[in-house]
Structure 1
């Protein structure tokens, strides 16, 4: 399978984005949004008024009315169903542009939290005003426009956290929750996989427990207490999500993908994938 380019966002000049590190643009009501799923190399924060369904990291998110949404480049996403969009704004930026602690710490940009925040009319008007200011600055010749854009992005994130406190806001109130987030962070740091000759190191609850210097039973209890799911389920879901992305958007062989995901033999990977998804890796690649 040939390497596949991800569809560009309408009006996005990738060379310009990489040069400047950011772009602000308005979404027209008639915009034909790309529907190809994939990971890009930039973050995106947008405000939109519409009606659509998005597949974000394997979960279906319904967007109805005025919402603020966050896109993490590590998480595959695609538009599944699109009824209408009446406009909005989007802010796109690279990680190097906004190398700020709030970006990395914000639960809004983590796969474990809902990246869509519903806005009332007052909140939408306030957020829209920030985007209008960013668009005006972006189009002008202000010498410190990058700094001003960063300040606006930070304000959007803080306002979003104020409107909808994340589920993980009390993450350090007890040991179990804190341990779960240490595990989740360690799991996510292994992705995305970018080199076929580097094999995934941590694939089992025991491996994560050893890395965190705790007993595996304690890790399993903590993860189950916080999420209702066993540690192995979280690991499997993330490995399968990565496998699907690699199968669909790279030209790596199934054997290469199996090795990169930590499977000693391709047959083990094939059986694992089929057991969890109901289909074979090759069948997904033919879609």
Structure 2
């Protein structure tokens, strides 16, 4: 099970119950912290939130199918699709990090110019080593983020997103010189690529653009593997079947449209690849216990 933001607070601040009572998955959330790690601690799990960390201290990062020795200051990126763990090697562990949820991320950022950045990609570099000048620059960005986050300015989330973009592009500038040893696993990589393909199809914003990949066979063909092999590795890596993961993501997208868009139920059904409204309704009820109309009645628009 993925660690939620309230569970994260309970782990790092056991006596602070405030985030558990005030946090809502439906609203944008952002916070920033000074970094400290217990010596030798390893926790390998999924998180429900994004995290961008300035690491000052020696340790090993374990994520997906790789481990990386971090032996000098670095920027690390994690997202909800990739499980990871940190093992402290040196007793001194410093730096900064920020966390934010899916609602903080703008849809155009996941499908536009930032789609291929380390924050959103399942595969690719997650660690970017820094020199002294870059460390100073990143610390300054975090300081400005912290100051902005403490204001009551109505548009502070927009400002914080700008600072986040600066952190991302600071890492991208180092991409050509970013070199480290990692240890890939073929099965895990196929599962990662499947998850990335699945996530990249959403959100669906055009009712006339039908979802391209709907079945496990569609994804297997795109990845050039046999569908049985894809099903096997996805089950091994995620604990879920390929069909279940596709259905979960489609149901999530359906619900978002039913609650927060002006698309008709037939437009939603067509855009997500259903041949008829009747089949869409049957599918949605099977996975949620409600009809699309019943969910739409809860709409806030």
TM-score (norm 2): 0.56
1:73 and 1:91 map into 2 onto residues whose CA distance is: 14
1:71 and 1:93 map into 2 onto residues whose CA distance is: 11
Q: CA RMSD in A?
A: 4.0
TM-aligned CA deviation for residue 59 of structure 1: 1.2
Residues 234 and 260 of structure 1: CA distance in aligned 2, closer, same or farther (over 3 Å): closer
1:166 and 1:110 map into 2 onto residues whose CA distance is: 19
**Consecutive unaligned residues in structure 2, runs of 5 or more:** 179-191, 202-213, 247-301
Pick aligned residue for 2:237 from 236, 241, 246:
241
Tell me the secondary structure at the aligned position of residue 99 of structure 2: strand
Q: What residue is the counterpart of 1:116 in the other structure?
A: 127
TM-aligned CA deviation for residue 38 of structure 1: 1.8
Residues 216 and 227 in structure 2, CA contact (< 8 A), matched pair in contact too: no
TM-aligned CA deviation for residue 183 of structure 1: 7.1
TM-aligned CA deviation for residue 259 of structure 1: 8.0
Q: Which has the higher strand share?
A: 1
Map residues 9-20 of structure 1 onto 2, 5 A cutoff.
10-11=12-13, 13-18=19-24, 20=28
**Consecutive unaligned residues in structure 1, runs of 5 or more:** 168-180, 191-200, 213-218, 224-229, 247-256, 263-287
CA offset digits 1:149-188 (Å, max 9, x no partner): 1110111112211221599xxxxxxxxxxxxx99774255
TM-score (norm 1): 0.58
Residues 207 and 50 of structure 1: CA distance in aligned 2, closer, same or farther (over 3 Å): closer
TM-aligned CA deviation for residue 23 of structure 1: 0.8
Residues 53 and 77 in structure 2, CA contact (< 8 A), matched pair in contact too: yes
Q: What residue is the counterpart of 1:55 in the other structure?
A: 62
Map residues 1-287 of structure 1 onto 2, 5 A cutoff.
8=8, 10-11=12-13, 13-18=19-24, 20-28=28-36, 35-80=42-87, 82-104=89-111, 105-108=115-118, 109-164=120-175, 185-186=196-197, 202-203=215-216, 208-209=220-221, 220=224, 237-243=233-239, 260=244
Q: Which has the higher contact order (CA 8 A, sep 6+)?
A: 1
Residues 102 and 154 in structure 1, CA contact (< 8 A), matched pair in contact too: no
Q: How many residues align?
A: 209
